[in-house]
Amino acid sequence: MLKNLINLIFPKLCSGCKNLLLKNEIILCSQCIHDLPFTLHHNLYPNEASKKFDGIIPIEFCSSMLYFHHDGIVQNLIHDLKYRNQQKIGTLLGNWYANDLKTIHEKFNFTEIIPVPLHSKRLEERGYNQVTTFCEAIAKGIEIPLNSNLLFRNRYSKTQTQKDKEHRKEVSNALFDVKFTNLDHNKHFLLVDDVITSGATLEACTRALLKIPDAKVSIITMAYTLS
Ligand SMILES: [Zn+2]
């Protein structure tokens, strides 16, 4: 009864279209689930996401789960996940994507999941890293560990999504770094971020991970920005 009352005062809305959710719907309404723009990158390699890194940095595999359109369902989902503490969205997407990634994992044999880290100051402001629940669901689904201690961010940089060369250079130089021991050698890291836009952040993270002897890096993201 209390739950009904709470629902009446704070009705649950679909993260995609902001319409009221039906009783049996969670996070997304069935129409939005039906309309989700899946990339199907995992069935196609090389693909448009992996091509971002061609000739720039060696990666083994790369795929994004969904297309990010401005004003679309995916933009709303990522916004709610990132700024409205809707961490369940990461779990939902991660559970779905883990199923798609099982055969990819059989082929590439990833050893650890590495989330792109937030700077500690940003983590303090937001209280959570928006990719954590997505990473946790995938780690569970393909049965490999999640390691949040290996890769870290050196310096605070403001939120920015510019795609210009200056930005790319800046992010690369802002530098991520790794703290590793002999036990981290010879691994295949599955690096995870929310959205690929320019690819600069993922490039900088990959550079850092490749400092580890005999490391291999693959990349997955929740969304891919069409530019
Ligand atoms: Zn909806």
Q: How far is the CA of 27 from the centre of ligand 1 (A)?
A: 8
Q: How far is the CA of 81 from the centre of ligand 1 (A)?
A: 15
Tell me: pLDDT of 24 over 60: yes
| Residue partners of 50: CB distance under 8 A and separation at least 6 | 41, 59, 61, 62, 63
Which class for 179: exposed (0-12), middle (13-18), buried (19 or more C-beta within 10 A)? exposed
Q: How far is the CA of 196 from the centre of ligand 1 (A)?
A: 24
149, β-bridge pairs = none
Q: How far is the CA of 128 from the centre of ligand 1 (A)?
A: 25
Please tell me the predicted confidence (pLDDT) of residue 143.
Answer: 98
Domain ranges of the chain: 38-156+164-225
Please tell me the predicted confidence (pLDDT) of residue 154.
Answer: 84
* pLDDT tens-digit series, residues 47-70: 999 999 999 999 999 999 999 988
d(CA 143, CA 190): 13
* pLDDT tens-digit series, residues 149-180: 999 998 655 555 555 666 655 656 568 999 99
Which class for 164: exposed (0-12), middle (13-18), buried (19 or more C-beta within 10 A)? exposed
Q: How far is the CA of 164 from the centre of ligand 1 (A)?
A: 33
Please tell me the predicted confidence (pLDDT) of residue 8.
Answer: 63
The Cα angle at residue 40 between residues 196 and 51, in degrees rounded to 5 = 45
Q: How far is the CA of 35 from the centre of ligand 1 (A)?
A: 9
Please tell me the predicted confidence (pLDDT) of residue 59.
Answer: 97
Q: Which residue has the higher pLDDT, 25 or 71?
A: 25
Q: How far is the CA of 211 from the centre of ligand 1 (A)?
A: 43
Q: How far is the CA of 79 from the centre of ligand 1 (A)?
A: 14
Please tell me the predicted confidence (pLDDT) of residue 156.
Answer: 54
Q: How far is the CA of 199 from the centre of ligand 1 (A)?
A: 29
Tell me: pLDDT of 214 over 60: yes
| Residue partners of 111: CB distance under 8 A and separation at least 6 | 144, 187, 188, 189
Mean pLDDT of 8-21: 87
* pLDDT tens-digit series, residues 86-121: 999 999 999 999 999 999 999 999 999 999 999 888
Q: How far is the CA of 180 from the centre of ligand 1 (A)?
A: 43
**Which residue type is seen at 121?**
K
Please tell me the predicted confidence (pLDDT) of residue 122.
Answer: 85
Pick the CATH number of 38-156+164-225 from 1.10.10, 2.60.40, 3.40.50, 3.30.450: 3.40.50
Please tell me the predicted confidence (pLDDT) of residue 119.
Answer: 81
Q: How far is the CA of 19 from the centre of ligand 1 (A)?
A: 6
* pLDDT tens-digit series, residues 124-148: 899 999 999 999 999 999 999 999 9
Q: How far is the CA of 80 from the centre of ligand 1 (A)?
A: 13
